[in-house]
Structure 1
Amino acid sequence: MSSTPAKTAPVICVVGARPNYMKMAPILRAFANHSPVIPTLLVHTGQHYDAAMNDRLFSDLELPRPDINLEVGSGSHAVQTAEVMKRFEPVIDEHGARAVLVVGDVNSTLACALVAAKRHIPVVHVESGLRSGDRRMPEEVNRVLTDQISDLLYTTERSALDNLTREGIAAERVHFVGNVMIDTLVANRRKAVPADRILAEAGYDPARIENGYGVVTMHRPSNVDVPETLTRLIGALHQVSQDLPLVFAMHPRTRKNIEAFGLAHLLDSPGFIVLPPQGYLEMVGLMSGARIVLTDSGGMQEETTALGVPCLTMRENTERPITVEQGTNTMVGVSAQAILDGAADVLATGGKGGRAPELWDGCAAERIAAHLNEWLERKEEAEAR
């Protein structure tokens, strides 16, 4: 079978894990609203396989149901990447592909990009050029390799071009369009669920946060899988909670390790409000009303900057430096003292003011649709000659 896609073939759009959904929702809307419409095929790899949470996200973000679910499930990085590749290639055989569009930096992103590149199908990477400089992070490896084999690289900040240029990627493949995560935030902020309602529905008294609260999320293996690090972080958060109630939306992996490492007693205090993982609209509501957010999430660094909420990032590096340089984000690492000092500063002064970076305006997906349509038409006209 020929690997050259017909003009009538769809742009295959790939999602695999929760952050992908927030990035893909505005892209699919922009493609559907573009004139002419850009036909798409939405493929869910099943890398993130919490059925209830998936259903909630698709409903909250008004995403169309996936056309195809590869149902890959969990596994090591190698197993998961290989399984996505095995199951994704027959999708191209059956449906063709005008291009394959991937977002972010999860295993599904790299796996589907590899399949497309080897079939000589254009690879489009949204959120290109972000670098932490830490190759120990599997996401960093996924970012670097996906960018190398992509034909079009859409960036969220201008500095990403410098990273890509250093890696030998031609500037004409790179296009600064803004941040589709912020498109989703802008589109959904009015629908956000207020914090007091979230607490009430979880069985907590909303009066506990009437004088303010902070939000905590933590899920990265380097933070939650190492007993010494998790002990230090939970101890620091426990101290912060003495001055400000902390709403802790707890990842299952984090909860399991807190119990395994004997730290659960630190959370059994009036300062902690422990919740299960929250839906997107709930998290936006929690962040919007918070005095401070403490996290190791990349996406929340961006969202807090857009919301103007001070963020302390419990990591030694970030692939989103613009949130520190222009936004409300402060890197505190995993030092208990740095976390305590950072929180004390925010509570005393209100924290960094920051501003929304360039083109974080809610229109990034429309810019992608316009550019991609023009690029594909030029490419297909040239191939037809």
Structure 2
Amino acid sequence: MKITIVAGARPNFMKISPIIRAIQKRKEEGAVIEYRLVHTGQHYDKKMSADFFEQLGIPEPHANLEAGGGTQAEQTAAIMVRFEKELMEHRPDLILVVGDVTSTMACTITAKKLCVDAVHVEAGIRSGDMAMPEEINRIVTDSITDHFFTTSEVANQHLRKAGVEDARIHFVGNTMIDTLINNLGRLIQPDLWVKNKLVSGKYFLLTLHRPANVDDPANLDHLLSTIMDCTGDRQVIFPVHPRTKKILDSIGFSNPKLVLAEPMAYLEFIYLVKNALAIITDSGGITEEATVLGIPCMTMRDSTERPETVTLGTNELIGTDPLKLIPYLNKIMDGKWKQGSIPPLWDGHTAERIINKLEEIYA
């Protein structure tokens, strides 16, 4: 079995690492299985790409398409043109795509046009928000995928409603949690910890990058002011996404409690997640990590593609109105946050289940 694994952006790297490790393990056990890792180059910032490969033990890609930059359409086109050439020169039995970034959609379309099977890891998740580029990527990818590896029963239901038969839906769990669990003993204390005299359980961790939260300077200013006003004397650690930094610089917001940082590599960032009092974010993946680590999480979005982090986990969906955040911050400060649990099969063994199933299907 020959598998081409596609990675393009920071969230992908966390999801492919355990899959590659599971393939290598099966090879050592005598299985006839080969993989080719293709990095599309969608994220080309070192902190959002190269550091992740190094820290997570991901081998150097066999190919880098270097298709970063440009508009959504330009990037999609560049990935498709270059991935088509890659597949024609190195034709696999299947491609494996993960998540919901542009590379996932573009490579799936390209493979299917060449009659190569596509399997989608983290299939079936939906936010219901068609304004999100990721939602378009999910829907298009899942409309032509051959096999679907899912993280939850909710995702299974979405696929069934779309007409996918059960034989092609494989509930396996969450590979990002595999990476989290595998690396808990390797976390690295970031430099800002000592510099800012941080104490475990005494600070908030903030991440923001979605347009609804950061594109309007007045709204971003209001949101940050609200957080500062409602977090007492707690420090707020804010690793600033590149697209957020431009707006933040334009408003010149500052506060003695606010600690701004560059984007972090995985092991340093998860160290901050694990030791936070609570997290405020508009990221989807962080809500999953917070749920498994039992850290209260507030999501500044109107919808989520990961409802299990709310119904079972430690996450709450707040919306994008800064004023709606206030009662949730008060709960944190009063020590009254809900008790969460870990969703089924988020146990660190998802990648093994994926490779076992692929061997059943393609052996």
Shift of 1:140: 0.3
Contact 1:126–1:154 under 8 Å retained in 2 = yes
Kindly indicate whether residue 207 of structure 2 is the aligned counterpart of residue 217 of structure 1: yes
Query: Percent identity at matched positions?
Result: 43
Shift of 1:227: 2.8
Deviations 1:130-167 (A, max 9, x none): 01001110100100110111000000001111111112
Cα 1:86–1:109 change in 2 (3 A) is same
Instruction: Name the amino acid aligned to 2:139.
Output: V
Deviations 1:171-199 (A, max 9, x none): 2211100000000000001111236x542
Q: Distance in 2 between matches of 1:157 and 1:244?
A: 35
Q: Distance in 2 between matches of 1:86 and 1:139?
A: 21
Contact 1:229–1:334 under 8 Å retained in 2 = no
Q: Distance in 2 between matches of 1:191 and 1:176?
A: 28
Give me the TM-score of the superposition, normalised by structure 1.
Answer: 0.90
Q: Distance in 2 between matches of 1:211 and 1:93?
A: 52
1:336 to 319, 322, 325: 322
Shift of 1:226: 2.3
Cα 1:270–1:310 change in 2 (3 A) is same
Cα 1:354–1:118 change in 2 (3 A) is same
Q: Distance in 2 between matches of 1:177 and 1:211?
A: 32
How many pairs does the alignment contain? 360
Q: Distance in 2 between matches of 1:228 and 1:319?
A: 27
Contact 2:47–2:264 under 8 Å retained in 1 = no
Kindly indicate whether residue 244 of structure 2 is the aligned counterpart of residue 244 of structure 1: no
1:160 to 155, 160, 163: 155
Instruction: Name the amino acid aligned to 1:32.
Output: Q
Q: Distance in 1 between matches of 2:155 and 2:196?
A: 44
Q: Distance in 2 between matches of 1:190 and 1:198?
A: 20
Aligned partner of 1:363 in structure 2 is 349
Unpaired runs of at least 5, structure 1: 1-6, 378-385
Instruction: Name the amino acid aligned to 1:332.
Output: I
Shift of 1:31: 1.1
Instruction: Name the amino acid aligned to 2:16.
Output: M
Q: Which shows bigger deviation, 161-170 or 239-248?
A: 239-248
Aligned partner of 1:227 in structure 2 is 217
Unpaired runs of at least 5, structure 2: none
Shift of 1:231: 2.6
Shift of 1:211: 6.8
Aligned partner of 1:309 in structure 2 is 295
1:274 to 248, 251, 260: 260
Instruction: Name the amino acid aligned to 2:179.
Output: T
Q: Distance in 2 between matches of 1:373 and 1:74?
A: 36
Kindly indicate whether residue 243 of structure 2 is the aligned counterpart of residue 253 of structure 1: yes
Shift of 1:242: 3.7
Instruction: Name the amino acid aligned to 1:161.
Output: N
Instruction: Name the amino acid aligned to 1:244.
Output: R
Aligned partner of 1:88 in structure 2 is 83
Instruction: Name the amino acid aligned to 1:105.
Output: D
Cα 1:210–1:140 change in 2 (3 A) is closer
Contact 1:182–1:303 under 8 Å retained in 2 = yes
Cα 1:210–1:102 change in 2 (3 A) is closer
**How does 1:101-120 map onto structure 2 within 5 Å?**
101-120=96-115
1:31 to 4, 23, 36: 23
Q: Distance in 2 between matches of 1:54 and 1:137?
A: 22
Give me the TM-score of the superposition, normalised by structure 2.
Answer: 0.96
The 3-state SS of whatever aligns with 1:300 is: helix
Aligned partner of 2:169 in structure 1 is 174
Deviations 1:3-61 (A, max 9, x none): xxxx5xx2000000000000000001111111405200000000001135422111110
Aligned partner of 2:193 in structure 1 is 199
Contact 2:47–2:265 under 8 Å retained in 1 = no
Deviations 1:52-109 (A, max 9, x none): 5422111110000111000011111111111100000111111111100000000000
Aligned partner of 1:122 in structure 2 is 117
Instruction: Name the amino acid aligned to 1:168.
Output: G
Aligned partner of 2:360 in structure 1 is 374
**How does 1:33-52 map onto structure 2 within 5 Å?**
33-34=25-26, 35=29, 36-52=31-47
CA RMSD of aligned residues (A): 1.5
**How does 1:59-98 map onto structure 2 within 5 Å?**
59-98=54-93
Aligned partner of 2:6 in structure 1 is 14
The 3-state SS of whatever aligns with 1:237 is: helix
Instruction: Name the amino acid aligned to 2:248.
Output: I
Contact 2:120–2:149 under 8 Å retained in 1 = yes
Shift of 1:274: 1.1
Shift of 1:209: 3.7
Contact 2:274–2:293 under 8 Å retained in 1 = yes
Q: Distance in 2 between matches of 1:47 and 1:297?
A: 18
Q: Distance in 1 between matches of 2:106 and 2:172?
A: 24
Q: Distance in 1 between matches of 2:186 and 2:267?
A: 7
Aligned partner of 2:276 in structure 1 is 290
Contact 1:317–1:331 under 8 Å retained in 2 = yes
Instruction: Name the amino acid aligned to 1:91.
Output: E
The 3-state SS of whatever aligns with 1:146 is: helix
Q: Distance in 2 between matches of 1:281 and 1:372?
A: 30
Cα 1:172–1:211 change in 2 (3 A) is closer
